[in-house]
Chains A and B, each alone.
Chain A
Amino acid sequence: MSDPVLTTDAGQVAAGPPPAPGRFRRLSDRGLAVAFISPALLLLLAMSVFPLLWALYLSFTDYSATRGGRAYFVGFGNYTAILTSAQVHQRALTTLIYVVGAVTLQTVLGFTIAYLISRRTHGRGLLTTLFLVPMMLSPVVVGLFWRFMLDAQFGVINSMLGSLGLGQVEWLTRQRTALISLIVVDTWQWTPFIMLIALAGLTAVPKYLYEAASIDRASEWFRFRTITLPLVWPLLLIAVLFRAIEAFRLFDLVYILTNGGPGVSTETLSFHVYKVAFLGFNTGTASAYGILMVLVVIVLSQIYLRYLNRLKEG
């Protein structure tokens, strides 16, 4: 036998007896919302906001995690040292070359692959899945896998070049090829990400636009330039933003493939922060370094997002 159905003054239907008088009666919708949200909010504050504030505080001190002891205030000393350091400038340039190179290559390739897949009617799902495999692998696995592939003596890439009558290339131990190798490996792993987002954009383009264009006997290139690209472009730019932020933080591939070498020629900002933080345990300096990197990403992202918004409004 079911509970009697009650009707409130407002005409709403409520099941079961009214709530017992007590503290729960006073729990408003807002209170309920706070009760549900606060555990997650507290966790977020403890795991994310607090460490950020802690790092911000440490960035103004000479604190060392291993040495322990008191953290002495050094003002903007750490920030000044980082911003005026020739070593940091060199790592920033390396990172910039890497980000621009890798993201450009991934965008061009990712969009091209997505465009070609989107034109297929058969096997699109299978092809998409196959192309996504590299993205699903751990960067450590990818790094080790490519380290063996690119080995100058025993690697399969040089072996293939040899069988084609071409000479051996020192992929990971020469200044230019080492950075190119990093870009290529990162492109191999993350082109599918751009491809996936571009594919989503391409499949969302209304078909009637193409139909109208074909009635007008518009060329393939005209259709691409005036229909496909403008409609997919905003989505593609968001994918570029995500990839650029990720690439800016590159650490794992550098660590495994080149260890920053030869010398420091592939040492990115993230890898350098790691060295400052864990080789010298200069926690204060490393914190300032990290804060500056976050600021750079935030500022550049904001500029980029404003451009995106203008594009959307336009």
Chain B
Amino acid sequence: MQLATVAMLLVATTVAACGDGGDDDATASAPKAPATIPELTTDPLTLSFIWFDWPPAQALEAFANAEYKKERPNATIKVNTVPNANWHDAMFTQFAARKTDFDIAILDSQHIGEAVTNGNILDITDFVKNNIDVEAYNPYLLAAYGQFPQAETGQRDENASLYGLPLLGDTWTMIYRKDLIGDQPPQTWDEMISVAEKCQADNPGVSGLAFHQANGSDAAAVTYNTVNGVYGGNLWDPKTRKIDGILNDAAGHEAMDVLVNKMKPLTARGSGNWFIDEVNAAVAQGKACIAFNWIAASGGLLDPKESTLGSTREQILDKLGFATLPSQKTNLVPLGGMGMHVSAYSAEANQVEALNFMKWFQRADIQKKWAAAGGVPSRTDALASPEFLNAGPFNQVYADSVPRMRDMWNVPEYARLVDIENTNVNAALNGAKSPKAALDDIAKEQQSVLDSSSRRGGGGL
């Protein structure tokens, strides 16, 4: 009898708690940031970021504490990092709790849709209008890192809302062994494969290619998207939200065939779970003729302490060359990098400080300093500045790649779409699925996610 009473009480409590679900309107869109920065506090304050663990995160913390403190001595910058594979979960589980231990989320461009539709980040459109010179930016980069919905053209829509500002630009660079394949990098994708094949045959123990193939994050997906773009394929039709029939068209299948049947045999055995660090390790240990990696993660390759290619930076640069990706039917390259986005659940004083930081960070002089400190800017003046171009041998590659960039789908369903693509491409690369089946499965499953996103119940598998 007493047990039954306790059970009934629990059920009643549960039902009562469920009734307090909030209303849909409250989370339909992001809350707005003030158009002008309100009065800043003079009390000691820690401005927290969240990012994944890689060299730019440490560079940002060091740079911001050194430079921002000159203007705001009471502010301390803390960049919290998590492993790359946990990055999305670490941010969005906190967003789900409606409470964050970070003030600025560094979101991938494709995460913006999910954060905006859930009301997790501030709408900074008015703030940008009043405080940021938008004309100073490459419009595609500004759109990619801050705008939602993403413009169909990929260019910035002046009337669209902005939710973030660029923090770090990025794309892939081709890293090649000058001592093994010569000073001239291959110009086409087919030529690159031939050169890698010959290099591998001529140099036992060195693999022709090294690239991202891992199952986690967006590793294998970006690799396929890159080859897909170069071979003239499309990821989807954003107007009709169609993926099936577009991703897996003739160009898409050709790209998958090139990736699995021509490129994969030139990689090291067991490299099917390689991501950024493993590719860098292969290059640094002289185990790859040609490799592809994100530019922002390539700085360590020039560190003699981590390389077997030379005992000085110059010796390493005698052997390593950095070039833009080869073209084939098109010259597209993947867009990487991230923007800064203010958490809607951060304390008001911290939100104000975050806006002030963003305004400060986007100044022309600060962007040049950031470039010199190892950052990759998005302002056109900073991109063309000697501070940036002389800071690293791959920075010119980035500047040349900006007009060639293509992003993925910036939609709220991104996390599931990229997981589908990643697992299937990884399966194809590791012999668990045929290339054709993998691509058809990606298209079918992704289409199902897009189609079911507006339906209720029974979804999400």
CB atoms of A69 and B21 under 8 A apart: yes
Cα(A63)–Cα(B18), bound, Å: 10
Q: Residue A261 contacts which of B117, B430, B449 (CB distance < 8 angstroms)?
A: B430
In the complex, what's the smallest C-beta–C-beta distance from B94 to chain A, in angstroms?
10
Of B95, B214, B269, B427, the contact of A170 (CB 8 Å cutoff): B269
Interface flag for A265 (CB, 8 Å): yes
Q: Which residues of A contact B85 (CB under 8 A)?
A: 255, 259
Task: Choose the segment among A80-88, A117-125, A190-198, A299-307 that binds chain B (4+ C-beta atoms closer than 8 Å).
Answer: A80-88
Is B424 part of the contact surface with A, judged by Cβ < 8 Å? yes
1/0 contact string of B23-39 vs chain A (CB within 8 Å) = 11011000000000000
Distance (Å) between the CB of A171 and the closest chain B CB?
A: 8
Q: How far is the CB of B435 from chain A (nearest CB, A)?
A: 12
Which residues of B sit under 8 angstroms from A75, Cβ to Cβ?
457
B459 and A262 contacting across the interface, CB-CB below 8 Å: no
- Determine how close the nearest CB of chain B comes to the CB of A89; give it in whole angstroms: 11
Once bound together, how far apart are the Cα atoms of A265 and B430, in whole Å? 11
A61 and B114 CA atoms in complex are apart in Å by 20
Q: Which of B6, B215, B456 contacts A260 (CB 8 A)?
A: B215
Would A173 and B24 be within 8 Å (CB), given that A57-B18, A81-B459, A276-B460 are in contact? no
A200 to chain B, nearest CB (A): 35
Give Cα A154 to B119, complex, Å. Answer: 45
Binds B, one of A97-105, A218-226, A280-288: A280-288
Cross-chain contact of A279 among B26, B27, B88 (Cβ < 8 A): B88
Q: Does B432 contact A (CB under 8 A)?
A: yes
CA distance A275 to B445 in the complex (A): 15
- A280 shortest CB reach to chain B, Å: 5
Which residue of A has the minimal Cβ distance to B20? A70
* Interface assignment of A62: CB less than 8 Å from any CB of chain B: yes
B119, B215, B424: residue with the most chain A Cβ atoms closer than 10 Å = B215
Question: Which residues of chain A are near B456, meaning CB under 8 Å?
Answer: 62, 72, 74, 77
Q: B18's closest neighbor in chain A, by CB?
A: A57
Contacts of B449 in A (CB 8 A): 280
Identify B419's interface contact among A65, A67, A279, CB under 8 A: A279
Chain B binding surface SS class: helix
The answer to whether residues A282 and B419 also contact, given A65-B96, A69-B24 and a CB cut-off of 8 A, is: no
- Determine if B92 and A281 form an interchain contact, defined as CB atoms under 8 angstroms apart: yes
Cα of A170 to Cα of B432 in the assembled complex, Å: 13
Assess A172 versus B96: contact at CB under 8 Å? Given A153-B268, A259-B215. Answer: no
Pairwise interchain contact B270-A264, C-beta atoms closer than 8 A: no
Closest residue on chain B to residue A264 by CB atoms: B423
Contacts from B to A (Cβ < 8 Å): 6, 10-11, 13-15, 17-18, 21-24, 26-27, 85, 88-89, 92-93, 95-96, 98, 114, 117-120, 214-216, 268-273, 281-282, 287, 413, 415-416, 419, 423-424, 426-433, 438, 449, 456-461
Q: A54-B14, A67-B27, A263-B427 are in contact. List 20 more A-B contacts (CB 8 A).
A: A57-B15, A57-B18, A62-B459, A63-B21, A69-B26, A72-B456, A80-B458, A81-B457, A152-B269, A152-B270, A172-B272, A261-B273, A262-B429, A263-B215, A263-B424, A264-B427, A276-B461, A278-B93, A280-B416, A281-B92
A-B contact pairs, 18 of them (CB 8 A): A45-B6, A68-B21, A70-B24, A75-B457, A77-B457, A81-B457, A152-B270, A172-B272, A173-B430, A258-B215, A260-B215, A263-B432, A263-B433, A280-B415, A280-B449, A281-B92, A285-B459, A286-B460
